Structure formats: C-alpha cells, structure tokens
Chains A and B, each alone.
Chain A
Amino acid sequence: MPILTVRKDRFWRLLERKLDDLELISLLHSLALDVEEITEEYFRVEYNPNRPDYSSPVGIARAARGLLEIELGAPRYRLHPPKTYVKVDPEVREVRPYIVGAIIRDIKLDQEIIEELVSMQEDLHWIIGRDRKKVAIGLHNLDVLKPPFRYTAVKGDEYSFIPLGEWRRMSLEEILLKHEKGIKYAHLVKGKPRYPLLLDSRGEVLSFPPIINSILTELNPDVKNIFIDITGTDLNALNSALNILTTTLHDMGGKIEQVKIIYPEKMYVTPNYKVRKWRVRIDYVNSLIGLNLKKTEIVKALKKLRHGVKVKRNVLYVYSPPYRVDILHEVDFVEDVAMGLGYSNLEPSMPKVITYGSLHRSTMIEESLREIMLGLGFTEVMNFMLTNERDEYEKMMVKPHQHVKLMNPASSEYTILRTWILPSLMKTLSNNKSSPYPQKIFEIGDVVLPDQSVPERAVRRMKLGCASCHSDASYSEIKSICEEVLENLNIDKWSIVEYDEPPFLEGRAAKIMLNDIQIGFMGEIHPQVLENWEIMMPTAALELAIHELIEKQSAETY
C-alpha cells in the first residue's frame, strides 16, 4: 500500500492548527490512515488505495480539517472556462485512445511543493494508473509552450526530443531502447504501429506518453502556470486522476482553467466537476450502522467527511467533492457517517438472533484420529501442502503422481501441491536429526488431487500419515499400529497385499485394501530413501486415505 511522508510544519500550516502526537495519531487513524512513523519533524502514513486523494499532504489536511470541524461540507472549486484545446488525431485510437487536460494558473511553486507533486504523480500512476497502463500523467511548464496542443501518434523514428534525465535528442525508438524509463515502460507501447506523442502548436514535444516528458517542460520553482496532460485507456480513471491533481493544485493556491479536448467525432471539456447527486436514506444509514441517528446528526457527520448535503424529508441528497473517486454506492456514505461519528464512539452491540454452533464433520474426524495417534505415543506435526517435485517424488524414489502445478511460484521450493503425506513426514524427520530418538510423529492433513469432475478441477483429501524412527523401527511395529488405528476407526474386513515398491524396502511393505480399494500403505522405508533425506535411523511409516476410509460417506466433496 502507498506510503506518504508529511512534514509536520507543512501539515500545521495546511491545517491551521497544531496537534500533539497523541492527537495527531488519533486523527490519522480516524481518517483510515496507518501511522508508520512519527518524529519531531515529520510523520509517515500508509493509505488505502481507495483514497488516492490522500496522495498529498494537501489531500490529507483537507480531510482532517473536516473531521476537526475546522471546515465543514464540500470544498468549493471554481473552474475557469477553456481558452485553449488539445486536438486528438485519430491515429492514437490504436495505441492510447484517451487524453484529458487542465491548466493551472498563478501557482506558487517551491522545491517542497514540486517534490510533493512528483510523489503524488507516482502514487497516482500506481493506484489509478496500474503502473501507467491505464493512466499516465504529465505536468508541464506552460510558460515555455505555445498552445493549442496536439495529441497524435507517430512512427518511432519520425520525432526526436531531449527526454528528462538525458542531455541529447533521442528518437522515440531510441528512448524505448536506451532510456531508463523507456526500457521500463516499453511494454506499454511495443508492437503498436505508432507511438503516442503530445506536441504544442510549434511542434515542440511535451511528452511521449506514457513513457517520458520532454526536458523542455520540466517544472521548476519559477514556473507560474502548469499544463497537465493525462493519457490512457480508461476515461473514468483519467478523470479521477485529473480531479485529484487539479483540486490539490487548487488547494495549493492555483486557479483551475479547463481545456477543450477535440476528437474528430466528439468534443469534451476537462476537468469536469459535474458531481453526481447521491440519494442517501436515513433509515438505511441507521439500520446498517445499528443506530437511531437524527437527520441532523447524519448531515453533520457527512459534512465532516467533506460532503455537500441537501435535506428533503427523510432523504439526503449528497454531493461528494470531485476528488472522492471512491464513491460507488449509497453504502459508501454509510461508512463516511460512521467515520464522522468516530468508530471509537460506536458502542459495540450483539446480534439478537440465536443460532447453534457445530464443527465440520472433517474436524470431528481429525479430532478422533488425533486422539488415536496421541494415544499410540505419536507427536503431531504440521507441514505445508505446497511442495516441489524433488521432495515429493525424487527423494522418495517414486514416479510422479498426477498433481496440481503452479504457474508462477516465487520460489522453487514451492511448485506443486502435495499428493501424499509421507514426504512431509520424511522432511520433518530430516529437520529433527539432532533431536533425541525415538521419534514418533504423525500428521493429519490434506492433499490436493486433480479431478475433472468438479468445477475447480481439483479436490482436497484428508490423509493420516505416521512414522516411527528409532534403532528398532520395523515393519511389525508399523503393522501393529495400523491394526490398532483401523480397529479404533471401527473398520474390519480389511486386508493387506505385498507391496514391493519404493519408498519401502522390498518384502517389508504392504498395501492396505478395503473392499478391493487401496486405502493406504505401510512398511519399512528404503535405506536409499532415508539416505536421500539424510535420516540415519531406521524408519517405518504408514499412510491412510481417510477420505476413502470414512469421509466419503459424507455428501460433501471437500
């Protein structure tokens, strides 16, 4: 989640109030911010991605002023009508179809504000832009440009300019190959016949979106007027980013001037702060929070969250400010009412309904198995279901089973899901070479098996595995255990047949059968397998398919 650093003195100026650390922490928590660090000079907060308007100190202060009741209701933003335009060429449709823009006039920049804007831009690229895929933002020094602008798409060798971070002219193709940002974001335009380009009326390049801006338009503390361009693939997202940026620049002291965007077939003006009127029912708010608030209390809470509210009978009409791009539903205002009241002021209550609890059948089966195994003197262990083919098959000297295979594991340790329990037990014994012997362990756990008959194409199956590892471990010991376990599971009519396969020693292992279905196996582990796991102690082991033994009688498949 994104993190923002805010200087305290800057925050006090924006807030027009000073707080001590306890008040500050409590305020930030009430705004749904997680406090990472707090020092004499600054604080660091983590904010949730639904609130990209928290990407600047201005945005946080704006919300804080509401909660502290320094300023209630929706902030007013005046939009100045457009004086210029961006003409959009049809060629961009194939590569990056949308653009929105705005002009900010009479802004006073300094190094601190420029840094805030850069960091905000980066966060918006991530949160709204999905790393520039959906949205890419450019802030330009308007004073060196000559509007109107043209948003077009050109061939890679057609244009060249000096990109930020370079000292020489580079063609678009060259930027993609050699420039740091070009290399990083080339995948967003690669393979397209033409690349997007933003030009002014003299043909000066502003930017090669979504890759890099021209050095020409770089912001510096002397810049008075800013041109913002935002390009991308999702017009909603573009407007969200533009609203957040322009309202923030407004709150920094700038005047917002709209820009006309002219397509061959249509025209619109941005930014457009035409706000949606939301209908919020008082009884809906009350029933969801579990309170009996009066109309005025709800209105007050909403105003503290910086919403504009009009009241008509038992319905509130709420106008949320243009930067609140997270509002999707009436329910979003319910949370804001709760935040306006303060979560700590909500008295916990209990549901009235009476229900009766119960454990899942599998849990009860597990519990019985646990009782049996603990009674037999085995210690319980727990392993991951994630594993790899080396542990699952190679070390056990068996051929691969049908298994579930991961597409994108972050580590080579986990590439598949386990299909049996014994390798997990071997791993545990291997981890315990320096623990005292005898070691008797068991695990009740699931394996996952591919199964075409269910929508998820795989099922989980409960298994019981146990291993006895000491100098006298033998087949007869594990056979006695198997007999005792099955007897206690109330299963008779089972039989055993020879099983001369790894991981067991030939002539010292058996398959366990119930009504002609194999329900498990047991035996002395082959010395080569023990060596593969670096276990220098004789080991006998047993694995039972609990699903086939008892679970199956349930209708449920998991």
Chain B
Amino acid sequence: MAEKIGKDVGSVAKSVEWLRSKNLVEVHEIIKHRIELGEEGREYAYSKLPERKLVDLLKESGGSMRMEDVNKILGERYFQISLMWAKKNGWVKIEVGENGKHIVLIKYPEETVEEKLLKILKDEGYLYYEELSDDLKKAVENLSKRQSVIKSFEVRKHFVKLTSRALEISEEELQTTEVTKLTQEMLIAGSWRKVKFSRFDIRAPTRPAYIVKRHPLERLIKLIKEIFVEMGFEEIRGPIVELAFWNFDALFQPQDHPARDMHDTFYLLEPSRGVLPEAFVENVKEAHETGGGTGSLGWRYKWSREEAEKLILRTHTTATTIRYLAENPNPPVKVFSVDRIYRNEKVDWKHLAEFHQIEGIIMDRNVSFRDLLGVIKEFYSRLGLKNIRFRPSYFPYTEPSAEALVYLEDKKVWLELIGMGIFRPEVTRPLGVKYPVLAWGGGLERLALALYNLEDIRMFYVNDLRWIHSIPTIYLEKKIGLI
C-alpha cells in the first residue's frame, strides 16, 4: 500500500489507524516466520554440508579411510561436526584396524531434504515456514538445532479491508479531505472552507510548557513592600557595611554588650574603621556614660570612640532607620525597609549568616504603644496572619518592648515573629528626636519558611530551579487569602 500511495509505511499506518477508528476499514494481522540462511548455512549452501563432504571423501577413497587422514583433509573445524552428523544419520561407522581407527562408509546417501532446503534458500533468499511442505518443515526444525545454519524471524503482516460502512459512505463525504493542521496557506487560499478538520484526541499527553518565575523569597518581599506602601510607609535603604556607632552605640547598646561580641557580629579586617558622625558623637557618648540630658542614669562606663568607629556588617536594619531618624528628626516619619542583615553564625537548617529583616518605624507627636500594637496587627493581618498576640519582651533600645506572636492556622502553632517597642529616650534624644518612635522588626525568612511550608531555611539560597519552578505563581497570594 505504501508503495502504491507513495508514502512511508509509518504515515500509512497512522492513516489506517485513523480510518479504523472511524470504522471505515478492518485490519487483519497475520504472523509468519521468515526463514533465512545463517552464517554457516550460507557457507554450506554454496559448498556442501560437512557430513556430505565426509561421505564424498570416503566414497572416493573406496569406502574407508584412516581417521587421522580424514582429519587432515577436512580440517579440524569440519572433521568433528561432519563425523557427528554422518554417524547420527547412520552413513558411517568407526572400525579399529591395524594402523589405527578407520571411518567406514555404510551407505552413500541421496540428496537429503535439508540439502534441498539449503538449495532453495540459496536461490530464493527466504521462505515462510508456514508455507512449506511437511518434509521441508521437518528440515527447518532439524537445521534449527544446528548453530547458525538458518535464522528465523517473526513477521507481522497487516491486511487492510474496507468495511461495509466504507462501501456505503456517500461520495461527498468521501471527497471532503480531513486535515490535521490549519496552515497559513489554507488561510490565504481560503481552502480551509473545503476541508474537514480532524478531531484530536484531547486527552493525549502533550509536551510540558515552562514558565519562568520570580524567586519565591522575592515574591514575598514584593508583597510585603506593597503592604507597607498601602499603609503609607516610605521605603528606605542603607549601607550594608556599617559603623558600629549606628548599629549599636546610637541604639544605646553598651560597648560590652554580648551582641557586640565577635561571636555574633562580623567585624571587618579591611576596611576596619570608619568616620564617626561628629554631630551626634558627644550626645551619644553622654547618653552611655551618664545619661546626658535624657533623664537616664546611663550605663555608667567609659565610652570609647575607637569601639564606635569599628566597621561591621550591619546586624539589623535598625542601623538604617536610626540613621534616617538622625537626618530627619521632624515628625511625621513613617518609613520601612526589607533588606539584608548579617550574623556571624554557623549556617545550618535553622540559621543563616545573611538574611532579611522586615522593619518599620513611625515617629509622630502623639503616637503610642497601643498604636504600635494596632499597626502591627493591621500589617500582619494583611499577610493573612489575623490571629496575633503580644507579650512583654526586652531590647536594649526600646521601652516599652514587646514581642508579637502570630498563629499559623495550618500548623496550629504560635510563631514568634516580631520584636517591637518604642525607642528609648536615650536613643532618640541624642539625635534630636523629640517624639515617640514606634519601631518593629522581624525576620523575613522565618515568615517565608512558614508560608512556603519548608523546614530548611537554606532552601531559599540554594536556588534549586526545579523547586523555584514548582511553586505556583499565585501560591502566596492564595496562601495569605488575597486571592
């Protein structure tokens, strides 16, 4: 069929399959075994079977020959095999004489059916087992027992026959071409009107499409920034390499505070020292030593400039907010940042040395601790965390201080997420800030772990592309109830 139509067998097969699904043709399958000469079979077919060689030799030599001589003449390869088959056929026997063993011809055989089969195969190239006479079938069976004399293949033949429906089908229906693909040419020529488009198997598997994505952590950052902006906060950024002064001293952390220890904070070897903002140095020093004009007792120790000049990787974004306040001491101030911070920690599944802090501050004439609770409640409820609880806590630079816990509905646990408070007067007064500053901060990755249902915090920075791809684009929005 393929030859007649002028197409390859594959496309004919497809068409037939399609016609069959339309009940227009029937397909019959016949399995046959095709017999061909094997490697040795070919050799025998062009010369003789080994046992024929032996009996011919014996006949020429008068019916008997010394075994050693036969071996020499036939060669090692044919000797054994010819003797075996000739004996088996009852053509020869072995007798012991004076000068060793002899092979003796019993009867010289006529052409065997096996030899006949080999001859036909030599001429025809192949035969179908199913079409052979019984004796030739027997010969095939016999020769199959010998190594690589003949080969046999299973061959499936398909016969296609029109069904009764095909015979009844109308001329018109038959003449409408069914096509699989709408082409540009069809549209230009308008020929799409004359064709019929084949129905597709709409459930057949298709190749996966691949969408590229934002990083999952970046998605959360974007959402959080949007919430801040919705709530009227302005975004600020600040240096990663920071003066100890802004990171600690301006926040009233005494210079021997354990958080300033080498075990917690990355100090820099190069560059190691920065330049202090002189406008604030004296006030901050006094706040530490005696309280200065802040009404505080201070920490009552000798404050060191050198300690404050040290450069570090900021341990919190509060270093940036306090800088901002120093430059913008007049109310109202409502700013936020979501940015990177650093802790000198061994990295494991719970800890990172570099991560993100979410931070917001509000400074105004009449803002209060209750306002801080309210803002945080609103902020986290916009992240889908509507159940929130506050309890007392401690930070060196806030008073009153609190921490907020949010309830994770799916995990049924309270998660400590946010530290907060009002900046102490020892922090604000030295910078010339006269009004209360509400401040809060929390880890981004901890929140992300909860929202993405992960255990290992390192996951966010391994960038496993399969993982990034696996997170549905609207996952977060759905998770927090925005969509």
Mark out the residues of chain A between 446 and 487 whose CB falls within 8 Å of any chain B CB in the assembled complex: 446, 448, 450, 452, 454-460
**In whole angstroms, how far apart are the Cα atoms of A329 and B215 in the complex?**
46
Q: Which stretch of B65-73, B161-169, B343-351 is in the interface? A: B343-351
**In whole angstroms, how far apart are the Cα atoms of A271 and B258 in the complex?**
27
Contact pick for A328, options B258, B269, B296, CB 8 Å:
B296
**In whole angstroms, how far apart are the Cα atoms of A329 and B464 in the complex?**
51
Residues of B within 8 A of A405 (CB): 268-270
Given contacts A332-B399, A435-B464, contact A409 B311 (CB under 8 A): no
Q: Which stretch of B18-26, B75-83, B170-178, B223-231 is in the interface? A: B223-231
Once the chains bind, are A431 and B462 in contact (CB under 8 Å)?
A: yes
Residues of B within 8 A of A450 (CB): 270-271
Once the chains bind, are A455 and B274 in contact (CB under 8 Å)?
A: yes
Residues of B within 8 A of A49 (CB): 258, 394
Q: Which stretch of B96-104, B132-140, B182-190, B234-242 is in the interface? A: B234-242
Contact pick for A287, options B242, B273, B368, CB 8 Å:
B368
Is A130 located at the chain interface by the 8 A CB criterion?
A: yes
Contact pick for B399, options A31, A334, A406, CB 8 Å:
A334
CB distance from B214 to the nearest CB of A (A): 5
Mark out the residues of chain B between 435 and 470 whose CB falls within 8 Å of any chain A CB in the assembled complex: 436, 438, 460-466, 468-469
Is B109 located at the chain interface by the 8 A CB criterion?
A: no
Is B125 located at the chain interface by the 8 A CB criterion?
A: no
Which range contains the number of B residues in contact with the other chain?
35 or more
> Closest chain B residue to A438 by CB distance?
B210
Is A353 located at the chain interface by the 8 A CB criterion?
A: yes
Q: Which stretch of A83-91, A410-418, A510-518 is in the interface? A: A410-418
**In whole angstroms, how far apart are the Cα atoms of A448 and B232 in the complex?**
30
Mark out the residues of chain A between 343 and 357 whose CB falls within 8 Å of any chain B CB in the assembled complex: 343-344, 346-357
Residues of A within 8 A of B271 (CB): 404, 450, 452, 457-458
Mark out the residues of chain A between 232 and 283 whose CB falls within 8 Å of any chain B CB in the assembled complex: 234, 236
Residues of B within 8 A of A409 (CB): 266, 344
**In whole angstroms, how far apart are the Cα atoms of A51 and B401 in the complex?**
13
Given contacts A329-B295, A350-B371, A353-B364, contact A386 B353 (CB under 8 A): yes
**In whole angstroms, how far apart are the Cα atoms of A456 and B369 in the complex?**
33
Contact pick for A432, options B298, B331, B346, B463, CB 8 Å:
B463
Given contacts A357-B231, A440-B212, contact A382 B237 (CB under 8 A): no
Mark out the residues of chain A between 371 and 418 whose CB falls within 8 Å of any chain B CB in the assembled complex: 374, 377-386, 404-411, 413-414, 417
Q: Which stretch of A9-17, A190-198, A358-366 is in the interface? A: A358-366
Once the chains bind, are A432 and B353 in contact (CB under 8 Å)?
A: no
Is A70 located at the chain interface by the 8 A CB criterion?
A: no
Given contacts A328-B426, A441-B463, contact A410 B394 (CB under 8 A): no
Contact pick for B371, options A32, A349, A404, CB 8 Å:
A349
Once the chains bind, are A329 and B294 in contact (CB under 8 Å)?
A: yes
Q: Which stretch of A144-152, A175-183, A288-296, A536-544 is in the interface? A: A288-296
Given contacts A288-B369, A289-B369, A349-B368, contact A380 B218 (CB under 8 A): yes
Once the chains bind, are A287 and B229 in contact (CB under 8 Å)?
A: no
Is A134 located at the chain interface by the 8 A CB criterion?
A: yes
Given contacts A332-B399, A410-B345, A411-B347, contact A459 B239 (CB under 8 A): yes
CB distance from B301 to the nearest CB of A (A): 7
Contact pattern, A 424-449, Cβ under 8 Å of B = 1, otherwise 0: 00001001100110011100001010
CB distance from B324 to the nearest CB of A (A): 11
Is A50 located at the chain interface by the 8 A CB criterion?
A: yes
Is B375 located at the chain interface by the 8 A CB criterion?
A: yes
Contact pick for A344, options B334, B390, B399, CB 8 Å:
B390
Is B391 located at the chain interface by the 8 A CB criterion?
A: yes
CB distance from A122 to the nearest CB of B (A): 15
Is A494 located at the chain interface by the 8 A CB criterion?
A: no
Once the chains bind, are A380 and B464 in contact (CB under 8 Å)?
A: no
**In whole angstroms, how far apart are the Cα atoms of A409 and B266 in the complex?**
7
Residues of A within 8 A of B465 (CB): 379, 381, 432, 435, 439, 441
**In whole angstroms, how far apart are the Cα atoms of A363 and B466 in the complex?**
27
Residues of A within 8 A of B342 (CB): 386
Once the chains bind, are B241 and A335 in contact (CB under 8 Å)?
A: no
Given contacts A349-B368, A435-B466, contact A413 B347 (CB under 8 A): yes
Residues of A within 8 A of B464 (CB): 431-432, 435
> Closest chain A residue to B331 by CB distance?
A353
> Closest chain B residue to A446 by CB distance?
B240
Is A528 located at the chain interface by the 8 A CB criterion?
A: no
Contact pick for A351, options B344, B371, B377, CB 8 Å:
B371
Once the chains bind, are B393 and A32 in contact (CB under 8 Å)?
A: yes
Contact pattern, B 79-116, Cβ under 8 Å of A = 1, otherwise 0: 00000000000000000000000000000000000000
Contact pattern, B 320-354, Cβ under 8 Å of A = 1, otherwise 0: 00000000000110100000101011110000011
CB distance from A408 to the nearest CB of B (A): 5
Is A171 located at the chain interface by the 8 A CB criterion?
A: no
**In whole angstroms, how far apart are the Cα atoms of A439 and B466 in the complex?**
10
Is A488 located at the chain interface by the 8 A CB criterion?
A: no
> Closest chain A residue to B314 by CB distance?
A456
CB distance from B348 to the nearest CB of A (A): 11
Is A42 located at the chain interface by the 8 A CB criterion?
A: no
Residues of A within 8 A of B460 (CB): 382
Is A338 located at the chain interface by the 8 A CB criterion?
A: yes
Once the chains bind, are A417 and B390 in contact (CB under 8 Å)?
A: no
Once the chains bind, are A382 and B218 in contact (CB under 8 Å)?
A: yes
Is B370 located at the chain interface by the 8 A CB criterion?
A: yes
Once the chains bind, are A558 and B353 in contact (CB under 8 Å)?
A: no
**In whole angstroms, how far apart are the Cα atoms of A331 and B340 in the complex?**
31
CB distance from A391 to the nearest CB of B (A): 14
**In whole angstroms, how far apart are the Cα atoms of A411 and B270 in the complex?**
18
Once the chains bind, are A414 and B353 in contact (CB under 8 Å)?
A: yes
Once the chains bind, are A329 and B230 in contact (CB under 8 Å)?
A: no
Between A and B, 22 residue pairs with Cβ closer than 8 Å are: A30-B392, A49-B394, A130-B258, A287-B368, A288-B368, A288-B422, A290-B368, A291-B370, A329-B399, A334-B400, A339-B400, A346-B369, A349-B368, A353-B362, A357-B334, A382-B463, A383-B463, A384-B461, A385-B340, A408-B262, A458-B271, A460-B239
Closest 7 CB pairs of A and B: A290-B368, A357-B229, A48-B394, A335-B400, A290-B370, A348-B374, A32-B392
Q: Taking beta carbons and an 8 Å cutoff, which residues of A are in contact with B? A: 29-32, 48-51, 130, 133-134, 234, 236, 287-291, 328-332, 334-335, 338-339, 343-344, 346-360, 362-363, 367, 370, 374, 377-386, 404-411, 413-414, 417, 428, 431-432, 435-436, 439-441, 446, 448, 450, 452, 454-460, 556, 558
Q: Taking beta carbons and an 8 Å cutoff, which residues of B are in contact with A? A: 212-215, 217-218, 222, 225, 228-243, 256, 258, 262-263, 266-277, 291, 294-301, 311, 313, 331-332, 334, 340, 342, 344-347, 353-354, 362, 364, 366-371, 373-378, 389-394, 396, 399-402, 422, 424-426, 436, 438, 460-466, 468-469
Q: Taking A344-B391, A382-B215, A431-B462 as given, write out 8 further A-B residue pairs in contact, using a Cβ cutoff of 8 Å, ordered by the A residue number.
A: A329-B424, A331-B425, A344-B389, A351-B374, A404-B268, A406-B268, A411-B346, A417-B313
